[in-house]
């Protein structure tokens, strides 16, 4: 029986490794925002620079209102609540001279500019690398184009899932008897986001030696790192690698098997992977199926792999009546790798997730406590969990203009009046 879901608020941390670093985040969609939120959690002050009409006034995916003060649906959009944590929000209209100049003033006082537009867009704003560097030779300019800033496909447009398709990963992902599938919802974006974060910190490390520089993370090239073995393999063997579902290339059983319902949900599964004879013996000890244990077809790893379809059927007939959490516990205790096929609902109830605070809570003024995952590592001396929930739209515009740029009240009022900057959502 799983407990009720619980969220513990993330503790504050004053010792984050990127303290003192300021990032100007122009990114949209998923990949760039993931990079920026990771940098934010690591301690950078991330200013999410939004256009004054950037957020939909009535998003279809608004989270329920659970706050105090005004109810503003654009501040409760689920995806934004996920992707804008650990940032501040500043609204500037970069198509105006004053908005652009304000941005360049921020560049002078920042360490990183991060964007994931198609390659022509920064030029449209007249904010190319040369312009940024002239204002701040120490600036690190991180671009995350889909296909790169050069080459015949430079101006092709695509979101992450379309790049999954062009990398070969979609072609390889799926059932052995089925069509290509996505490797996940926004897998390419997530991958590019983390790669960009690593590259940004690496560029910060190199800055004392080389000064500011450009960093180009073509999303396609980031993903090709993840299937490089397939590319090398097909050259060595002369064969196209194939879709193989959850199968292993040489070990069995290695799959996902039906299990008894969890939380009333019949879509319940357990993953079991026996890579060695020892792990197979451990599985047999729990299974207790003497005919399987005595079957010569399953006596060696190679035979089990050869007869894996038969083995999977027998295993499924056994697992389907078991609670996946209890069965995984028993298999693990015996020495066989197994895990329930978890989902977000069960992870929020999982004792390991709670013990490590893999998903913690952030207090949002309009949706209350809301969940956000941590990155997959813990730093012992500089803890870096997510810092704050997604900021309300433009809530930091005036403080940033005043405190970081030192603009006078009159100048700020003029920027707000002209629409070059904004402290609220405006119609386009």
Binders of another protein among 361-390, rule CB under 8 A?
Answer: 367, 370-382, 384
State which of positions 185-204 bind another protein (CB under 8 A).
185-187, 190-191, 194-199, 201-204
210 binds another protein (CB under 8 A): yes
Give me the phi and psi of 333, to 5 degrees please.
-60, -30
345 binds another protein (CB under 8 A): yes
Q: What is the DSSP letter of 297?
A: G
β-pair type (213-216, 88-92): unpaired
Specify the residue, 244 or 414, whose C-beta has the smaller distance to another protein.
Answer: 244
Beta carbons of 52 and 394 less than 8 angstroms apart: yes
Q: Vertex 237, ends 233 and 243: CA angle to 5°? A: 60
Beta carbons of 285 and 334 less than 8 angstroms apart: yes
The CB-of-374 to another protein minimum distance in angstroms stands at 7
Specify the residue, 78 or 292, whose C-beta has the smaller distance to another protein.
Answer: 78
The CB-of-166 to another protein minimum distance in angstroms stands at 5
Tokens of 237: 């063997």
Per-residue binding string, another protein, 243-262, x by CB under 8 A, is xxxx-xx----xxxxx----
How far apart, in Å, are the Cα atoms of 296 and each of 41, 115, 167, 317? 54, 59, 41, 20
The CB-of-289 to another protein minimum distance in angstroms stands at 21
State which of positions 387-426 bind another protein (CB under 8 A).
none
Nearest to 243 by CA among 312, 175, 167: 175
319 binds another protein (CB under 8 A): no
Q: Give the Cα separation of 313 and 242 in Å (integer).
A: 22
Tokens 């990963």 belong to which residue? 169
The CB-of-346 to another protein minimum distance in angstroms stands at 8
Specify the residue, 127 or 398, whose C-beta has the smaller distance to another protein.
Answer: 127
Neighbours of 356 (CB within 10 A): 12
Specify the residue, 32 or 222, whose C-beta has the smaller distance to another protein.
Answer: 222
β-pair type (22-25, 45-50): parallel
Specify the residue, 139 or 400, whose C-beta has the smaller distance to another protein.
Answer: 139
β-pair type (112-115, 88-92): unpaired
State which of positions 72-101 bind another protein (CB under 8 A).
78-79, 81-83
Sign of the dihedral through C-alpha 116, 122, 127, 128: positive
The CB-of-50 to another protein minimum distance in angstroms stands at 16
State which of positions 98-117 bind another protein (CB under 8 A).
none
Beta carbons of 314 and 292 less than 8 angstroms apart: yes
Per-residue binding string, another protein, 121-160, x by CB under 8 A, is --------x-----------------xx-xxxx--xxxx-
Report CA dihedral (135, 140, 141, 147) to the nearest 10 degrees.
160
332 binds another protein (CB under 8 A): yes
240 binds another protein (CB under 8 A): yes
The CB-of-404 to another protein minimum distance in angstroms stands at 22
Binding residue for another protein (CB under 8 A) from 11, 14, 64, 266? Answer: 64
State which of positions 260-289 bind another protein (CB under 8 A).
265, 267, 269-273, 275, 279
Give me the count of residues in the chain. Answer: 428
């Amino acid at each position: 029986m799983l407990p009720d879901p619980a969220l513990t608020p993330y503790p504050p941390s004053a010792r984050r490794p990127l303290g003192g670093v300021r990032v100007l985040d122009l990114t949209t969609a998923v990949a760039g925002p993931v990079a920026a939120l990771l940098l934010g959690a690591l301690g950078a002050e991330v200013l999410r620079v939004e256009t004054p009409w950037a957020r939909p006034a009535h998003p279809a995916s608004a989270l329920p209102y659970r706050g105090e003060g005004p109810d503003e649906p654009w501040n409760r959009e689920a995806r934004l609540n996920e992707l804008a944590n650990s940032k501040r929000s500043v609204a500037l209209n970069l198509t105006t001279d004053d908005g652009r100049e304000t941005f360049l003033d921020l560049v002078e006082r920042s360490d990183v500019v991060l964007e994931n537009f198609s390659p022509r867009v920064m030029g449209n704003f007249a904010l190319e690398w040369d312009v940024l560097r002239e204002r701040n030779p120490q600036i690190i300019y991180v671009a995350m184009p889909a296909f790169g800033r050069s080459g015949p496909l430079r101006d092709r447009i695509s979101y992450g899932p379309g790049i999954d398709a062009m990398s070969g990963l979609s072609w390889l992902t799926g059932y052995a008897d089925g069509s290509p599938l996505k490797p996940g919802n926004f897998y390419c974006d997530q991958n590019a986001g983390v790669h960009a974060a690593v590259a940004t910190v690496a560029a910060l490390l190199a800055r004392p030696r080389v000064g500011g520089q450009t960093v180009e993370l073509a999303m396609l090239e980031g993903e090709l790192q993840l299937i490089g073995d397939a590319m090398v393999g097909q050259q060595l063997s002369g064969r196209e690698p194939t879709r193989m579902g959850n199968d292993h290339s040489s070990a069995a059983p290695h799959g996902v098997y039906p299990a008894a319902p969890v939380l009333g949900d019949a879509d319940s599964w357990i993953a079991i992977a026996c890579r060695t004879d020892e792990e197979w013996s451990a599985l047999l000890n729990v299974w207790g199926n003497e005919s399987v244990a005595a079957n010569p077809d399953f006596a060696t790893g190679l035979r089990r792999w050869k007869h894996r379809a038969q083995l999977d059927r027998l295993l499924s007939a056994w697992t389907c009546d078991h609670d996946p959490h209890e069965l995984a516990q028993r298999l693990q205790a015996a020495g066989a790798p197994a895990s329930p096929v978890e989902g977000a609902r069960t992870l929020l109830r999982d004792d390991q997730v709670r013990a490590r605070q893999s998903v913690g809570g952030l207090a949002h003024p309009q949706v209350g406590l809301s969940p956000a995952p941590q990155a997959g590592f813990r730093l012992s001396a500089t803890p870096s969990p997510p810092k704050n929930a997604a900021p309300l739209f433009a809530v930091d515009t005036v403080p940033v203009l005043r405190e970081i740029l030192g603009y006078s009240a009159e100048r700020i009022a003029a920027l707000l009046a002209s629409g070059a900057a904004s402290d609220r959502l405006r119609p386009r």
